[in-house]
Amino acid sequence: MSSMNVKRGDVVEIIVGDEKEKGKRGKVIAAHPTDNKVIIEGLNLVKKHIKPRNAQEKGGIVDQPRPIDASNVMVVCPKCGKTTRVGHTLTADGKKFVRACKKCGAVLDVKEDKSTAKKSAAKTSTAKTKTTTATKKKAETKQEITKEE
């Protein structure tokens, strides 16, 4: 069985189905390659009855996205914004194939998540350093006060 071209995090458009859902776009929040299904955020909703599992939880009816056949959706290229068939292109180092837009050639497997995580981690450590310096200064001030006494 060929592997599914739709992956979690992709934006896809529903290309077949009833008028209510056809043409709508959403983000894939789960992909199930074994049964060729994807779950799209906010689309193909089904009313689901929820039973409260504890006192804090409210029961009731919620709209939950239902899995949709991956063949009913097309990947939307983040660069050209068009629905596209997924092609495969070699990475710059020629070591592996990545998914690419057949219309504009943009690589779809962008590793944005990693760089974003790195950036935010760097920010956090800078903030921490600042806090440490501030705490140190405070401590110094306190010491001076103690000396004066």
The site for Zn ion (CB under 5 A) is made up of 77, 79-80, 101, 103-104, 106
Between 12 and 77, name the residue whose CB sits nearer to Zn ion: 77
Between 37 and 99, name the residue whose CB sits nearer to Zn ion: 99
- Give residues with Cβ within 8 angstroms of 6, minimum separation 6: 12, 28, 31, 38, 70, 73, 75, 86
The answer to whether the beta carbons of residues 37 and 15 sit under 8 Å apart is no
Minimum gap (Å) between residue 112 Cβ and Zn ion: 16
Between 7 and 103, name the residue whose CB sits nearer to Zn ion: 103
The answer to whether the beta carbons of residues 88 and 97 sit under 8 Å apart is yes
The answer to whether the beta carbons of residues 6 and 38 sit under 8 Å apart is yes
Minimum gap (Å) between residue 91 Cβ and Zn ion: 17
Interatomic CA distance for residues 121 and 9, integer angstroms = 21
Minimum gap (Å) between residue 23 Cβ and Zn ion: 18
Between 39 and 76, name the residue whose CB sits nearer to Zn ion: 76
Minimum gap (Å) between residue 103 Cβ and Zn ion: 5
Identity of residue 145: I
